[in-house]
Amino acid sequence: MKPLALNELVRKGKPYMGRPTTLLQKIVNGDLLQLADEEGYVKVQSIKVTFKDESESTYTRADLKKEAVGQAFISDIVSVANQARSRKAQVMLTGSGSDHDPSIIGTWNLKELGKTHHFGGQKAGGTSANLGNQYEADLNESFEKFADHGGKYPDHVTEILKKICAANPGTCVKKVKHAGTANTRRPMKYASGGFYISAEGKKSLNIGKTLTDITVTIGEPNKKQNKDINLSVKFGSTLSFFNIGVRGGGKGLQIFPVSDLKAGKIPDMGQKFLEMFNIDNGKFLDVFSKYDKDATAPSVSDHKESYKITGTAKKNLEAFCASGVGYNYWMVHYTGSELHCYEVDQAYMKRASTLEGDNVDIEYGGASGTGKRINIKFSTKEYDFSFNIRSKTASEIYPTHSNGDYFKR
């Protein structure tokens, strides 16, 4: 098992994924903490935190049961993580190496703990947890335990409900439903001269019921006229816009069939897709036909281009973005250290799909020019978008997928 790095607890100067709180709770509960590299376990009895200026804080397990002391301990963890370049800054854990014999005492550096599944590692015999799914499940649990302020993220629930109810004055929460895996896929389609991200296969911008992960029902007290609020729950620094196969097969669009590309041809559907971004057909083919894994120079000349998008291309790209963003839901986006919660209505969708500056950047062969991919970057009034067309497998050269992410500005 790998050691527990401080950046698994703290990122960008803030507690990450509530993991410092998890560590605190396990210490307070008297749980055994597993050490890295199969070196055993420790039941922590006391802690000494040393900072880079050599000042110290000390805690006992009994002290940490007090809320104010526990918060001070978490703040100290954050401080030490922010001073990680200093060898003097460290957290030392003293405790028993046995669950049944408290006389077996030792002292370990926090970094000697193992990266168990509590801190983003693998469960025994399993794989690493999907952090997005984990956050959604944990947030739903906190919604279910709302009355008791329970679960892992009660403060998130409070913040989300405050914003929702502020936007709907006079309402209160009546019930919560977890959609979970009931969510439907959103394949890309083509109709009326443009591409769009569908809602259950249909062309609709009202996608709240399609996107919802958790549905909160609100209404005025003692009244039966209620309203469903759809929450789209996201985790991580980026938001996923779309991820599609481009070779066809099944019900997918045949955008870039590999046999056509190898023959130096781009089918009509592929040309339409490239036109939406003003990608040069010849350069597109060269990126893949001339790909060399050992290359040190770009596969095409002028591999980085920037242009001002206009006319039909701009209209189609903005419509494509609008179909992906849609409306009639609230975005709940937890980066791991910060929670962003906002309503996505029609006005927001319009801003989120309106290009800012009308500039589109193309990178043939990726940033270095030597890759088997095309990068497309542009910004709207709400997001920075990053799309690509690429091969996702080491054994394949010609593109297998196109996917896009967006970042809140």
Residues 283-335 pLDDT 10s: 999 999 999 999 999 999 999 999 999 999 999 999 999 999 999 999 999 99
Distances 258 to 215, 250, 267 between C-alpha atoms, Å: 42, 15, 10
Sign of the torsion angle spanned by Cα atoms 68, 70, 73, 77: negative
CB atoms within 10 A of CB 30: 13
Q: What is the pLDDT of residue 350?
A: 97
- Give the model's pLDDT for residue 320: 95
Q: From CA 133, how far away is CA 164, in angstroms rounded?
A: 23
| pLDDT value for 99 | 65
182 has a pLDDT exceeding 70: no
112 has pLDDT over 90: yes
CB 163 within 8 A of CB 217: no
Which tens digit of pLDDT belongs to each residue from 83-97? 988 889 999 999 987
Give the per-residue pLDDT at 340.
95
CB-based contact 35:108 (threshold 8 Å): yes
Domain regions of the chain by residue span: 6-119, 131-184+199-232, 239-408
The predicted structure's pLDDT at residue 100: 63
Q: Coil, helix or strand for 111? A: helix
End-to-end CA distance of the chain: give it in Å, rounded.
38
- Indicate if the pLDDT at residue 125 is higher than 80: no
Quote the pLDDT of residue 307.
93
108-121: average pLDDT: 90
Question: Which stretches within 66-177 are classed as H helix?
Answer: 67-82, 131-144, 154-167
Q: Is the pLDDT of residue 409 over 90?
A: no
Handedness of CA 246, 249, 254, 260 (dihedral sign): positive
The residue-averaged pLDDT of 35-59 equals: 91
Average pLDDT (257-284) is 95
Name residue 405's beta-bridge partners. 240, 386
Q: Mean pLDDT over all residues of the chain?
A: 91
Q: What is the 3-state secondary structure (H, E, C) of 2-59?
A: CECCHHHCEECCEECCCHHHHHHHHHHCCCCEEEHHHCCEEEEEEEEEECCCCCEEEE
Length of the chain, please? Answer: 409
- On whether the pTM is more than 0.85, the answer is no
> What is d(CA 224, CA 357) in angstroms, rounded to the nearest whole number?
47
- pLDDT-based confidence at 393, cuts 50/70/90? confident
Buried b (16+ CB within 10 A) or exposed e, 113-138: bbbbebbbbeeeeeeebeeeebbbbb
Q: What is the pLDDT of residue 97?
A: 76
Q: What's the mean pLDDT in 371-393?
A: 95
